[in-house]
Amino acid sequence: MARAHRPQPIRWLLLWATVLWLLLGLRPFAQAQDVPYRLETGAPLHLQHYAPQDYGQFPQNWAIVQDRRGVIYVGNVRGLLEFDGAHWRFHQVANKTVVRSLDVDSTGRLYVGAQGDFGYFWPDSLGVLHYRSLVPEIADEADRNFWDVWTTRVTPEGVYFQTHARLFRWNGDTIRVWRPRTYFHTAFAVRGRFYVRQDSIGLQTVVGDSLQLVPGGERFAHLRIYAMMPYDGDRILIATREAGLWLYDGRTFQHLDSEVEPLLRTYPLYHGTAMPGGFFALATLGGGVFIIDREGRIVQVIDEAVGLPDSWVNYVYVDRQGSLWMALNSRGLARADAVPFLTVWDKRLGLDGFMYALQTKEGGEFLAATSMGVFRLIKQGQRRAIFVKDVEIEDQAFQFLLQKDQLWIATARGVFIENNRDRSKQFLQLPGRSVFSLAELADNLVAAGTKTGVHLLKRIGEAWEVHSVPGLTGEVLRIVRANRTLWLSLRDGLVVRMQFPTGWMQEPEVTVYGKEDGLPGSFVQMAEKDSTVLFFSREGIYRFVPGARPAFQPDTTLLAPGHEGHDELLALVVDRFGRVWTVFPTHIDIAHPLPDGGYRFETPLLFRYPNWGAPVQVYVDDAGIVWLGNRDRLIRYDPNLTFPEHLFSPEPPPVLIRQVASGDHILFGGAFVGPDGLLHALQPEGQVLELPYAFNDLQFEFALPSFIRAEDNRYQYRLVGKEEWSDWTTVTQRLYPNLWEGVYRFQVRARNAWGMTTPTTTLVVRILPPWYRTWWAYTLYLITLVTIVVLTWRHYVAQQRAIQMYIATVLGDRIEAMRSRIKLLTRLLREANAAKETILSTTTHELRTPLSAILGFASVIKEETDNPLHKEFLEHIEESGHRLLATINDILDLARLRSGSMVVRRVPVEVTETVQKVYKLLEPLARKKGLDFRMELPPEPLRVFGDPSAVERVLTNLVGNAIKFTPEGEVVISVTADEKHVRIAVRDTGVGISEEFLPHIFDEFRQESSGADREFEGSGLGLAIASRLVKLMEGEIEVVTEKGKGSTFTVVLPRAPERGTPSGRLPHREVSET
């Protein structure tokens, strides 16, 4: 290799001056010159500016590249910018200097050329990008002394890093170094081959391990090359500052004459790139970016006049969606879409207002009617074409009507008639002022739709007469002529047919159609095709079918298959070639007529780029140029430009999981490296992101690297198993706090500006359990638990043995003494209870004898005395005495029952007779209280096993209680039976029994009402005795009651056989409680 020579001092001074000039953002003196060029296109469709405050770093940028996932990287003065369409990130190289150049290899590895350093970024195990410097791999220490790395290029032989003082090539293991004889100026890689221009030497390439001049390369010894781009076949387009464009076929160089050559002398060329469709973007210092075709003709200029913030452009790059990125010298970044296929005129280029009509006059003059007036496209010789407003028309302009020698303009003030030769105007004011539509009926007759109806304008000499058409009032927004018929569209959604069978000046036949005739009810527009009127609204297309019901029928023949009802229909236009354009918010369909009467449908991908919105106008001029009015912008499309649809797919790339974080800790940096060693956009199958439990508050950050109309991107996300899909949103992050350990699947999908939905992106995350919930922790817990159980059991066994020994030795005597004491107390208690029963029996017996004498004497005295007062007193004595005697008898019976001395026989008892006996006994008492007292007895007699007196005693107690506790109503005694039992029920409508007292109803000496103020007298022994008696007879008493509504007491006794049967003559037996 030839020995490198140090550049002369004057060259170093020039180099430093150039660098200082770039850094300070100075403008060349030539910028002040007015360089003419012919350009008939407008501004880029979308020109997005990314200001320094958007990405938070220095305004000056130097390089742009896109990786295999779709992420954009930018070389900035302070380091490396990373942009995914939603989030900006910032990285720095080892020495934290400016990043001058970038490139990406097939694996996705990002190579960086910085100031005094070069290397690459690659993700670590957490997916976080880290920089590795390759400078330590340079063998010779002297070769490490370099400054800016101006070019970084990936080739099959390795990665080249070009500085002025050295040229490096990294092959993955070692670095090869070349030293210049003068200095390396610029370097390029085209179709995998590396080229470098060495000042005063020429254009060189690497052959083996040596630098060699390409054939004829010495031509560029003093011609500075700033771009080498693939042209066609094997040819390369070379762009220079001093000598314009050259074509290189590998053997010879041929100069290419171009319109841009004089501009490149005025605005210094700095970079260039090839674009899809055979176009080239040339970045300049001061002139913006020139877009040229293969012949060197300028097809578009992107500069400050069309919204570019800075005309000093250091670098241009085309991404996968065909968008042109521009690294600006002092204003950040810019991105232009659909360049140069769609261009726009708007307020920046003189066109203002919403588009209502478009028209080309004879001679090619193009006009636009807008909400701000009429504008003309002025092509000023060699200057950029701009729109200029017609100062004579200040009002809204709605429609043009072109006649052979004049142009009619419908405006909000009236009608202007412009002479096509000298642009002189005649103004006609019609009733209602505003004129919305015009239709030519004859050479001297025009129909005008106004606020007040339809008017005919008839030419008489040089003047025009106005005739109002009768039969219609209202705003006529559109008029379409079909033979001798005028179709009118009214603002309120009505359509009117005016037929003039006898002449235009005669009164027409008027028919009004509305919603009942099949129209949608919204504003209906019209278009004429082959003398047939097409009606359309946002709901769809309709045809008028005479005689049909309804008269207007939906028509889908002009809608592309699959697009019926797909979106709101914004416009329908028939162009001069008979093609039908249907405009929807997300796309445009074109129906091409076929000879057989059908249509061939086309949905140009290019027309998905704009965001269509009403009003929309479509106009195709004589040259075939398509003009599309979209709200307040006019879009121009030249079909002659070859649009590479395969590069502009609307299918969005997959959504990227950009980051997973927990608080300030980044757990995943967004980059996947698969088993193949390649950078992947999606998590490779089988990979799982494992996270410690301490980071279980997970925040997922995601983005769709689709940059065209990125503000319209929408996202849906979910954590499978924990939530359903979210609503569509612009939010690009989601927090899930306090997740339990386990495997989670976070899913996200996106919908781009064209309504296309991405496949679902899934990130599988496993949150590891905390150490105290791991398998080895549970094993330790189990061992500990078993140890504790064993030790506890052994302790328990030992303790029990000690207790038993204590009981046997120490507490034995005490326990024996306690047992003796318990036996003594039990005996004393039984003796006391027996004494109580004896006293109770003796006392009541002794009370009954004198009480019987008292009752006897009272009865005798009552019969002997004639004094009524005495008789009343004696009756009270008798009543109280009998009550006391009954209580004493009850106490005696209860004592006998409790002591077991009362014996109850079990013999067949005639139930019916017993019931009748009780009824006769208590019937006077019931009658005295005014109660309905009755019996419900079966026709045949029934017998039970029991004691006759005991059965009578039980029934007497139950019926007596029913009468006593029933102030009014009824008391019923009913008898029913089945095969085994007889049921005697006593039902009353008395006071009833509360649920709280019901469990105590058969207790001795217990009544629900107690105390001195109780309502009903009694001892509380009747039910207790009855219950004991029934049990002795092997029966039971059932109670059903409701407080305030009454009670039913049912005695259930074993049924005895009928008389005369063998079982009916069984001997009786006696039973007692003991």
Instruction: Report the share of the chain in percent with pLDDT over 90.
Output: 58
Which residues neighbour 475 within 8 Å (Cβ) at sequence distance 6 or greater? 436, 449, 450, 451, 490, 491
Per the domain annotation, does 501 fall within a domain? no
Q: What is the pLDDT of residues 210-219, one digit of tens each?
A: 999 999 999 9
CB 487 within 8 Å of CB 480: yes
Per the domain annotation, does 1018 fall within a domain? yes
Same domain, 663 and 765: yes
3-class secondary structure, 546:
coil
Average of per-residue pLDDT across 287-306: 93
Same domain, 747 and 722: yes
pLDDT of res. 822: 87
pLDDT of res. 836: 66
Instruction: Tell me how far apart the alpha carbons of residues 739 and 395 are, in angstroms, rounded to a whole number.
Output: 64
pLDDT of res. 960: 85
pLDDT confidence of 669, banded at 50, 70, 90?
Answer: very high
pLDDT confidence of 6, banded at 50, 70, 90?
Answer: very low
Same domain, 763 and 665: yes
Greater confidence (1018 vs 609) lies with: 609
Distance of CA 210 to the CA centre of its chain: 60
Of the chain, the end-to-end C-alpha distance in Å amounts to 133
Instruction: Tell me how far apart the alpha carbons of residues 68 and 319 are, in angstroms, rounded to a whole number.
Output: 11
pLDDT of res. 766: 95
pLDDT confidence of 787, banded at 50, 70, 90?
Answer: very high
Which residue range(s) make up the domain with 788?
Answer: 775-810
pLDDT of res. 901: 58
What is the number of helices (H) and of strands (E) in the chain?
9, 75
Average of per-residue pLDDT across 592-606: 90
Q: Which two tokens stand for residue 847?
A: 């009370």
279-284: strand order across its sheet: 269-275, 279-284, 289-292, 298-302
CB 898 within 8 Å of CB 1073: yes
Instruction: Tell me how far apart the alpha carbons of residues 185 and 152 are, in angstroms, rounded to a whole number.
Output: 13
Q: What is the pLDDT of residues 87-137, one digit of tens each?
A: 999 999 999 999 999 999 999 999 999 999 999 999 999 999 999 999 999
Does the pLDDT value for residue 1050 go beyond 70? yes
Does the pLDDT value for residue 18 go beyond 60? no
Same domain, 992 and 1023: yes
Which 8-state DSSP code applies to residue 32? G
Average of per-residue pLDDT across 886-896: 65
Same domain, 863 and 945: no
φ, ψ for residue 345 (rounded to 5)?
A: -110, 135
Same domain, 968 and 1063: yes
Does the pLDDT value for residue 20 go beyond 60? no
Weakest mean pLDDT among 195-209, 298-312, 1044-1058: 1044-1058
Q: Which two tokens stand for residue 989?
A: 């409508």
pLDDT of res. 790: 94
Per the domain annotation, does 116 fall within a domain? no
Per the domain annotation, does 801 fall within a domain? yes
Does the pLDDT value for residue 1071 go beyond 70? no
Does the pLDDT value for residue 1058 go beyond 90? no
Instruction: Report the share of the chain in percent with pLDDT over 70.
Output: 87
Instruction: Tell me how far apart the alpha carbons of residues 303 and 285 are, in angstroms, rounded to a whole number.
Output: 11
Does the pLDDT value for residue 251 go beyond 90? yes
Half-sphere exposure of 414 (CA within 13 A, CB side): 12
Does the pLDDT value for residue 1043 go beyond 50? yes
CA neighbor of 914 nearest in space, from 936, 943, 871, 934:
943
Q: How many CB atoms lie within 10 A of CB 832?
A: 10
Same domain, 1060 and 952: yes
Q: Which value, in Å, is the radius of gyration of the alpha carbons in the chain?
A: 56
pLDDT confidence of 848, banded at 50, 70, 90?
Answer: low
Residue 609 vs residues 116, 349, 438, 605, 715: alpha-carbon distances, Å: 42, 21, 33, 8, 20
Greater confidence (134 vs 849) lies with: 134
CA neighbor of 696 nearest in space, from 656, 635, 744:
744
532-537: strand order across its sheet: 525-529, 532-537, 540-544, 552-554
pTM of the model: 0.71
CB 523 within 8 Å of CB 489: yes
Q: What is the pLDDT of residues 537-573, one digit of tens each?
A: 999 999 999 989 999 999 989 998 877 656 789 999 9
pLDDT confidence of 22, banded at 50, 70, 90?
Answer: very low
Strand pairing report for 689-691 and 761-767: parallel
Average of per-residue pLDDT across 655-671: 95
Provide the mean pLDDT of the chain: 87
Average of per-residue pLDDT across 916-924: 89
Question: Exposed, middle or buried: residue 951 (CB in 10 Å: 0-12, 13-18, 19+)?
Answer: buried
Same domain, 874 and 802: no
Does the pLDDT value for residue 710 go beyond 50? yes
CB 355 within 8 Å of CB 631: yes
Average of per-residue pLDDT across 625-642: 90
pLDDT of res. 185: 97
pLDDT of res. 7: 38
pLDDT of res. 879: 64
pLDDT of res. 156: 96
Per the domain annotation, does 857 fall within a domain? yes
Does the pLDDT value for residue 430 go beyond 80? yes
CB 629 within 8 Å of CB 369: no
Same domain, 1025 and 1064: yes
pLDDT of res. 58: 96
Same domain, 933 and 1049: yes
3-class secondary structure, 349:
helix
Per the domain annotation, does 783 fall within a domain? yes
pLDDT confidence of 12, banded at 50, 70, 90?
Answer: very low
Weakest mean pLDDT among 233-242, 360-369, 761-770: 360-369
pLDDT of res. 562: 77
What CATH number is attached to the domain comprising 1039? 3.30.565.10
pLDDT of res. 166: 96
Per the domain annotation, does 140 fall within a domain? no
pLDDT of res. 882: 64
Overall domain count for the chain: 5
The amino acid that residue 637 corresponds to is: Y
Instruction: Tell me how far apart the alpha carbons of residues 204 and 195 are, in angstroms, rounded to a whole number.
Output: 6
Which 8-state DSSP code applies to residue 999? G
Per the domain annotation, does 930 fall within a domain? yes
pLDDT confidence of 519, banded at 50, 70, 90?
Answer: very high
Instruction: Tell me how far apart the alpha carbons of residues 657 and 701 are, in angstroms, rounded to a whole number.
Output: 6
Does the pLDDT value for residue 13 go beyond 70? no
Q: What is the pLDDT of residues 1010-1040, one digit of tens each?
A: 544 455 555 667 787 888 888 888 889 988 8
Same domain, 756 and 672: yes
Average of per-residue pLDDT across 371-386: 82
Which residues neighbour 125 within 8 Å (Cβ) at sequence distance 6 or greater? none
What CATH number is attached to the domain comprising 739? 2.60.40.10
With residue 842 as reference, give the H or E element that holds it: helix 812-864
Same domain, 584 and 700: no
